[in-house]
Amino acid sequence: MKLPKAGWLSIVPNKNTLEFVPLRRYPKKQFPGMVSAIIGRHTKAKIRFNPHGRPSQSHHTPARLRHLSRNHYQAGPFVAILTSNNKKPFGGNHQNFADLIRTGREMGVTVFVLTPQGIGNHSTVNGYLLDPHSVKPRWKAARLPFPNVVYNRIPNRMIEKTPEVRQTIRQLQQMPGVYLFNPGFFDKWTLYQQLAASPDLHRLLPETVRLHHMEQLERMAAKHPVLYFKPVEGKAGIKMMRLDKKKQHYELSYQTTREKKKYRVRTLKEVWDLYNRLKQKTAYILQQGIPLATFHGHPFDIRILLQKNGTGRWGLSGMGVRVAGERAISTHVPMGGHIEKIDTVLQSVFGSETDRIKERIEQVGIRTARWIENQQNALLGEMSMDLGIEKDGSLWIFEANSKPMKFDEPNIRRRSLRRLIEYSLYLSGFSHTSEGTAT
């Protein structure tokens, strides 16, 4: 007998019998009273069908049914957003989590928040469900089936390096039937080395060295009039430096979230001493400066969002432009940069070449994402990428980020949330279990 594929499942982990309310109404169809099922990764239960029931959002969560063998099914998928427990009830961006949970609900998938503390040696976990009735995100603790898919959103590198989090990620990666994607942050130097090994992508990289000695600075300064000092594990342009070679001196610009300073020095020895004073114990790379194209007199770069879709293939979810602010040495928004629509900027700068350039950006982005995933030897589902473009249309790869910030443009935002759910359905084997969407 063909059973409904989508509906609502009562979540009562201590009970061996759960209720399933089909999404569609079947006034004349007869269903078996009970079937055996695996809930989530490996919780065994009996499911009782209630074709005339009305789901309660407080006691039911969206689920799909996947046929395994005769009279035996799997209910899911259950998707966990992994974050830290450094705040109450948990860390990370609560609004982003809520947006993904609501998108999952619309698509018939249960998404919840999970911290390392919520994982034990049992077939269930202690997580957090979003209160469906609240406008602002409100959370309720719940015991839930072990997830099929885990989306790593540990909020920063320091927390991700703690023994507890590292052990949790290793544990999840080794579990059969659990798919954890984006297991860690990228660092700029490792990423550069991986891209430099590509037969074609290496041509799109600015010359870069891991900075250890003054001789490296001297060699790079002799070749390039502008150099950037970037923290290996930096973000948002914080603690970035820019060196400009003038006729009689050098200018070293330094930015943090609180200040932007400019130093005038005469020799590279003075530059080296100043760099060491400013960097403290932070590891840096030194990178060739690229003469970026400008929009209304300000340099800009391009940020793209790449995600896997419901067939596990990389695709472009969106692209935007970041325009540098006054006195800023980078385009990062926390440093005074602002966002512009890509068509507005490219049409202004490149005119009729805009469509060709956008196609080239997409091609480079997808090739780069595939190469990075191959080199990282890890399961990746999304990444953002920063690309530079010169006024002649030449493209440069600056960096990639495995924990992308959200795009505010509504269409890109909706697409990016849906792609995360589609990819989770693909990983868990539930891609072909849709019967419309839940509400």
Identify the weakest region by mean pLDDT among 51-60, 124-133, 228-237, 273-282.
51-60
Q: Are 270 and 193 in contact (CB under 8 A)?
A: no
Verify that 381 and 324 share a domain, yes or no.
yes
pLDDT digits (tens, 9 = 90+) for 147-173: 999 999 999 999 999 999 999 999 999
CATH number of the CATH domain containing 89: 3.40.50.20
Q: Is the pLDDT of residue 294 over 70?
A: yes
Q: Are 367 and 201 in contact (CB under 8 A)?
A: yes
Query: Measuring CA to CA, which residue among 318, 320, 321 is closest to residue 294?
Result: 321
What CA–CA distance (Å, rounded) separates 94 from 91? 8
Q: 425 lies in a domain?
A: no
Q: 412 lies in a domain?
A: no
- Number of domains the chain is built from: 4
Question: Which residue has better confidence, 144 or 52?
Answer: 144
Q: 11 lies in a domain?
A: yes
Place 120 in a pLDDT band, splitting at 50, 70 and 90: confident
What CA–CA distance (Å, rounded) separates 99 from 13? 25
| Pairing between β-strand 298-308 and β-strand 314-323 as defined by DSSP bridges | antiparallel
What CA–CA distance (Å, rounded) separates 341 from 181? 30
DSSP secondary structure letters along 33-97: SEEEEEETTTEEEEEEE-TT----TTTEEEEEEEEEETTEEEEE-EEEEE---SSSS--S-HHHH
Verify that 274 and 366 share a domain, yes or no.
no
Q: 417 lies in a domain?
A: no
Q: Is the pLDDT of residue 428 over 80?
A: yes
- How many C-alpha atoms does 146 have within 13 Å on its Cβ side? 19
Q: Are 243 and 264 in contact (CB under 8 A)?
A: no
Q: Are 186 and 407 in contact (CB under 8 A)?
A: no
Please name the amino acid found at residue 310.
G
Q: 199 lies in a domain?
A: no
Q: Which of 74-78, 104-108, 312-316 has the highest mean pLDDT?
A: 312-316
Q: 116 lies in a domain?
A: yes
User: Which of 288, 305, 329 is the C-terminal boundary of a domain?
Assistant: 288
What CA–CA distance (Å, rounded) separates 109 from 3? 18
- Domain ranges, residue 176: 78-181
User: Which of 241, 266, 288 is the C-terminal boundary of a domain?
Assistant: 288
What CA–CA distance (Å, rounded) separates 177 from 42? 8
Query: Measuring CA to CA, which residue among 203, 221, 198 is closest to residue 268?
Result: 221
Instruction: Look over the chain and give the mean of its residue pLDDT values, rounded to a whole number.
Output: 89
Place 50 in a pLDDT band, splitting at 50, 70 and 90: confident
Q: 428 lies in a domain?
A: no
Q: 426 lies in a domain?
A: no
